[in-house]
Structure 1
Amino acid sequence: MKSTILAAAIACGIASTGAFAASGAPSGIDLKGIDHAVQPGDDFNEYANGAWIKTAQIPADRSSTGIFLQVFQKAEKRTADLIKAAGNGNPAAGSNQRLIADYYKAYMDEAGIEKAGLAPLKPELDAIAAIKDRKALASALGGQLRADVDPINATHLDTEHLLGLFVAQGLEDPSKNVPYLLQGGLGMPNRDYYLKSDKDMVDTRAKYATYVQAILAAAGDKNAAEEAKAIMALEMKIAEAQESIVDSEDVHKANNPWPRTAFASKAPGLDWDAYFTAAGLNDQPTFIVWQPNTVTKFAALVGSEPLDTWKAWLRFHAINENASGLIGKKFDDLAFDFYSKTLTGTPKQRDRWKRGVARVNNDLGDAVGQIYVKEYFPATSRAEVQDMVKNILKAFDDRVGQLEWMTPATREKAKAKIATIKVGVGYPDTWRDYSKLEVKPDDAVGNHMRAELAEYAHQKSKLGKTVDRDEWWMTPQTVNAVNLPLQNALNFPAAILEAPFFDPKADPASNYGSIGAVIGHEISHSFDNLGAEFDAQGRLANWWTDADQKHFKEAGQKLVDQFSAYEALPGLHVNGQQTLGENIADVSGLTIAYAAYKNSLGGKPAPVVDGLTGDQRFFLAFAQSWREKTRDAALRSQIVGDVHAPGNFRAQTVRNIDQWYDAFQPKPGQKLYLDPKQRVKIW
């Protein structure tokens, strides 16, 4: 999960060591995980986690491991038990329990899926085969438009559909929801897999071309080799037309409202009337086109590339979208071999029940979530986390009031934005209604397709209407958190708000160093290089004085340089610009979490626990929350396409915090040591 201007997340790597009551109990720090042979000032991640790293084993069905995985597995097991029990007592047709039970049953029916094979896709594949002209092609492309824009990945969407739809308030008019169009069209994670010339990417492209051919051959195509070659050539052109992640995150380049009637002249080559009619969007007066040059180039490709090539591309992606677990073992094995083994280095397929749980969570997330919070998230936990959020928001507000570099005019606007942040804790107050969704116990493909269409209809139904600032973009059983700049809102799902992430009986140092830093991180996204472009109403607006903006950007550049110096693999460095928003949120979030921690002590000194001071426990909890061990292929994929730096580098964020220097006494000349003037201070 990744940060974008539409949403910003802490990311799937978020973790915590947990915490225990400080009074006569352990500190909450994994003392055995510390490597005392490493100096904190040389590598704080290795110091905090080195002993654990030496012995940790990545499960065969995973691309990485860490404390996050342990927490995720806890939520996964709980969710699996709830899903498996949903059919008990023969629940009524149309009820959430019946929908969950039937969806899961259909997915787990491997024999039935094997027998059906490609038959569930026959209507779609026949329609693709029947395309005779460019107008029919435009209708086919429009008919496959979906609201499949993950809000965490939205600005650099790489859906297999040519374009993706996102529905949210307008950038300049926050009063109503408008449609956003974003680039897609690729079968690999992002455009760099097509365009980079290093050996790893060249090898991956060759394996992808082999995979495309294998999928088509498995589907019975006699000209699979020729079709695969044409598809690969087309996707190379699509990749060349796409904008980079960094450019896509520049909201000023994205603010392109196009009148519906202007598409024909701005992007010739595609029959936009046919496209939008098939998409059910022909009545929309205006679209915000996030990557306008890309859309223009896409339309030209639709008009210039051979019709048979587009039909082959549509056919491949129709099959590929369902290859993982929905249309039989031969397709499933091929998809796993490329998308897991090749792209992330994962050697073993996940158990079927785990994949089934993920599918149900994806398509019926709120239905499962309602049951989850009743079982595992009491009102007392919600209230305590809400109080913690208030404490950290107050610390942020106090911090803004003390910033020497900020002028009164900017300070007033920043405080107004803090005051209007909406914080959702645990679960939404309004749940998604699935009562009109048809789910059959023997139609795995159909269930997924109907769920996608239902989500698309739900998103379209919001167009032109008043914005719901309480809307959630994560399910309660998700182990993550998110900031939504356009809504000026935060979501903290239930699954991340329990031990070991949050324990109401825990040592405050450990709680604030782990979940407190997460909360601070999400708050800070409202003021990172992207979030700071939006005012208290979520409107794109410059509320900075020139001098303040200059200081802010200079501080950001120092952070860009700091992270660009980190080498993840030989010759492969972190992209400091690509990860800037997350890095700002880490620095600022840790800063305000520390301030809130000190406030929580009420002026009393923190006890020494397990030989560690309160400040030492705070910073160790933060660093241990980022412990992870990742396969090289997955790490390479993260560096290329993710806006989060790897966890081991995020743990080094402490080098910018003055109090860390007091707690661990790093010395000049050590690798992490920064002169006070070099330390990045933003909020």
Structure 2
Amino acid sequence: MSQNKTTATQDFYEYVNHDWLEEAIIPGDKPAINSFAFLAEKIEELLMHDVKKIATGEIKIDSKELQAFKDFYQLVSDGKTRDSIGVAPLITRLARINNLHSIGDWAKQMPDWILSGYPCPFTIDVNSDMKQADTYGIYLSPTSLILPDTTYYTDEHPNKEELLAVYKKMMLELFALIGFNTEYAETIVDDTIAFDQTLVPFMKSAEESADYAKAYNPRTLNDIKDYHPLLQLEQVFGTLLHQDPKTIIVTEPVYFENLQKMITHDTFNQMKHWMISAYVRSFSSILTEDFRQTASQYNLALSGAAEHISQEKHYFYLATGQFDQVIGNYYAHHYFGKAAKDDVQEMVEQMIQIYQNRLTKNTWLDDKTKEKAILKLSTLGIHVGYPEKIPDIYSLYQTVSKQDGGTLIDNVEKFERLTREYYFNRYLQKVDRNEWEMSADTVNAYYHPQYNVIVFPAAILQAPFYDFNQSRSANYGGIGAVIAHEISHAFDNNGAKFDEFGNLNNWWSDADLTHFEALTKQMIDQFDDIPFGNGKTNGTLTVSENIADAGGLSCALEAAQLEKDYNPAELFENWARIWRQKAQEQYTDLLLAIDVHAPTKLRANLQVKNLDAFHELYQTTEQDPMYLAPEKRISIW
């Protein structure tokens, strides 16, 4: 190990992680390595080993869902059969796009077009209604762009031309594998890029989308019809939902108010070619190995990863991606102990109590707002480890095995259609607040504002986040801060707009809201416009996560201080440890543009600066880079 010359008061993140940063190697098939990815790699190795044994029968099947996964994995991993089938199934399916002759022709078949998974310049999906969170509503949203964000399309963006060139080269090679002649392929790709760019002026950037309450824009069926009369959208919704919806929630009204400018008789062929390109890319993981590797070029350029993932990993990702909660359930029941679940559950309850005490003693909330905040906290749902049951959708996935004449493509298409029908059939049904949206083998955690629940999958409950063998203070600096971070999301700039039922509802007094917005502005300014990578940070984009980090770390500190063996150094150092990361340059630039989280180094360094206990422990002075004057230290919760 090299000698660490950085002190805690110069750069705390470097002080804690110096040796790791020098020695860690980014895997060739990954854009970054960090504490989350390190744990994910370990779990991945473990499950890849077990999945092979499931496939060979060495591990016995104990559910019909796991049997369906086994049959599906056997189809996925049969590369020889996939190579022998080749691209013929894709060519057959592309005929449906090529056979479109007009907007009216497309509109007549649009309900089935959507259920069949064909590309469309907009998406229709069912999710909980933001203002009636116990009931499923229907949402209308724009499609995604080729480049990661609208900001990438500006002429001054340094990566725009390079990424579009990689995209074009990749698509031409894919079309060559399909058998298209060069001239036709060139026309398709040029039209695809041209149509894509016509959508950009009417779409939100990642920063604009970060305020997700603004995605709630209810419209009537007549409003939707007027967006583009030729598309007959009112009939599309009626057919998909088996009834006419009274309200459709439009996430980006500006986009749909300009839909007639984007989809015209003159642009119809461009749109068809855009559909062909999108559809070809959607098949990239289920055809031949040559096709998969060719189709990964753009993502490699975008992320900076040096090489394709191996075939073995690809098989694993593809199969577990379709059955993620089935495999998550398997992982949790085989590798997650009850003692850890109980210990973490206790930590969660302790954090909630600390939050309640803080809200009770809060000096800037009036009594009515304080009462509503405490009510919201008291109704917070807590999910630790794994769900009581996996969602019903997995019982519908019955794989037709190779022995019974099934192919991978046929099964994937069947599952995708079943999934779309399943979710459309949920419209106006009651929401199951206990249903997880993350599998138990995922190294992450989340707060759901419309369910008002916090979820901590089994996979994150490991070192450095949590370990029986590390001190209680270290655990508070890891999983404790993560727990309180998720609780804090209930009261960040987004979560604070939802009440105890998960409804979008302003429960604040005007004075309290004004004060909270002023504190939010302080957090935006603290994280804004800091040089990082090849760009600068965006405090507005990351503010909700930064508010949650601040609340999470300060509450974890207070909980640790109640312990007999409280050790502040162990808490702060583990906080910095969980955020260590090495990333490719391209990936750093990508995250700066679209990630609602601040760069990990800044998460580690800036948040500790806000805490008096950090400055007392390390005796910072005005000459130290880690020093922050007391009047500039931000405390929201």
Q: TM-score under structure 1 normalisation?
A: 0.87
For residue 252 of structure 1, report the CA deviation from its aligned partner: 4.7
**Partner Cα distance (2:137, 2:235) in 1:** 20
Q: In the alignment, what sits opposite 2:215? A: 254
Q: 1:180–1:344: structure 2 CA closer, same or farther, 3 Å change rule?
A: same
Shift of 1:432: 2.5
> Given the superposition, is the C-alpha separation of residues 448 and 598 from structure 1 closer, same or farther in structure 2, using an over 3 Å criterion?
farther
In the alignment, residue 131 of structure 1 is paired with which amino acid?
L
With 204-213 and 273-282 compared, the bigger mean Cα shift is at: 273-282
1:657 to 611, 626, 629: 611
Match in the other structure for 2:391: 432
Name the counterpart of 1:616.
569
1:633 Cα deviation (Å)?
A: 0.5
Alpha carbons 1:106, 1:440 under 8 Å: kept: no
Matching residue of 1:368: 327
The 1:198–1:122 alpha-carbon spacing in structure 2 relative to 1, beyond 3 Å, is: closer
How far apart are 1:642 and its partner, in Å? 1.2
| Equivalent residue letter for 1:508 | R
Q: C-alpha distance in 2, partners of 1:136/1:368?
A: 42
3-state DSSP of counterpart to 1:579: helix
| Contact residue 116 and residue 413 of structure 2 kept, 8 A | no
Figure out how many residues of one structure are paired with residues of the other and give that number.
628
Hey, what does 1:204 align to over in structure 2? 163
Q: CA separation in 2, counterparts of 1:680 and 1:165?
A: 41
SS at match of 2:161: helix
Q: Which residue of 2 aligns with 1:328?
A: 288
Identity %: 28
State the match for 1:224 in structure 2: 185
Equivalent of 1:489 in 438, 449, 453: 453
Following superposition, the deviation at residue 346 of structure 1 comes to 0.9
- What displacement does 1:476 show? 0.7
1:330-345, aligned counterparts within 5 Å? Answer: 330-340=290-300, 342-345=301-304
1:674 corresponds to: 628
CA distance in 2 between counterparts of 1:332 and 1:365 reads 21
**Native 8 Å contact 1:270 1:303 kept in 2:** no
Return the match for 1:538 from 489, 493, 502: 502
Correspondences of 1:77-88 after superposition (within 5 Å):
77-88=45-56
CA contact (8 A) 1:128 1:140 kept: no
Q: 1:114 aligns with which of 72, 76, 83?
A: 83
Verify the 8 A CA contact 2:303 2:584 in the aligned structure 1: yes
Question: Aligned-pair distance for 1:166?
Answer: 4.1
CA distance in 1 between counterparts of 2:474 and 2:371 reads 33
Looking at structure 1, the residues matched to 620 and 590 of structure 2 have their Cα atoms a distance apart, in angstroms, of 33
Whole-angstrom distance in 1 between the partners of 2:595 and 2:115:
23
Q: Counterpart of 2:136?
A: 177
**Pairs within 5 Å for 1:303-314:** 303-314=264-275
Identify the structure with bigger relative contact order (alpha carbons < 8 Å, sequence gap 6+): 1
- Give the alignment partner of residue 519 of structure 2, picking from 542, 547, 555: 555
TM-score, with length taken from structure 2 = 0.93
Alpha carbons 2:497, 2:504 under 8 Å: kept: yes
* 2:93 corresponds to: 124
Q: Which residue number corresponds to residue 643 of structure 1?
A: 596
Q: Quote the offset at 1:215 in angstroms.
A: 2.5
1:289 has 2:257 as partner: no
Change (3 A) 1:277 1:535: closer
- Indicate how the Cα distance of structure 1 residues 130 and 92 shifts in structure 2: closer, same or farther if over 3 A, else same: farther
The equivalent of 1:51 in structure 2 is 19
How far does residue 218 in structure 1 lie from its aligned partner after superposition? 2.7
Q: Residue 347 of structure 2: which of 388, 394, 397 is its match?
A: 388
Matched position secondary structure for 2:633: coil
After TM superposition, give the deviation of residue 161 of structure 1 in Å.
Answer: 4.7
Q: 1:366 to 1:253 in 2, by over 3 A?
A: closer
The secondary structure found in structure 1 opposite 2:582 is strand
SS in 1 for 2:39: helix
The RMSD of aligned alpha carbons is 2.4
Choose which of 270, 289, 292 in structure 1 pairs with 2:231. Answer: 270
Q: 1:57 to 1:161 in 2, by over 3 A?
A: farther
Q: Report if aligned partners of 2:54, 2:61 keep a CA contact under 8 Å in 1.
A: no
Richer in helix (by share): 2
Aligned residue for 2:395, secondary structure, equals: coil
The aligned counterpart of 1:594 is: 557
Letter in 2 for 1:580: V
Counterpart of 1:535 in 2: which secondary structure? coil
Q: Secondary structure at the match of 1:594?
A: helix
Secondary structure of the corresponding residue to residue 491 of structure 2:
coil
Match of 2:152 among 193, 199, 207: 193
Cα distance in 1 for residues equivalent to 2:482 and 2:594: 22
1:72 alignment partner in structure 2: 40
User: Is contact 1:486–1:538 with CA below 8 Å preserved after alignment?
Assistant: yes
CA deviation map 1:372-415 (0-9, x unaligned): 12211133322221111101111111111222222222111111
Cα distance in structure 2, aligned partners of 1:284 and 1:271: 14
Q: Distance in 1 between matches of 2:269 and 2:580?
A: 49
Q: Which amino acid aligns with 1:97?
A: L
Residue 173 of structure 2 aligns with which residue? Answer: 214
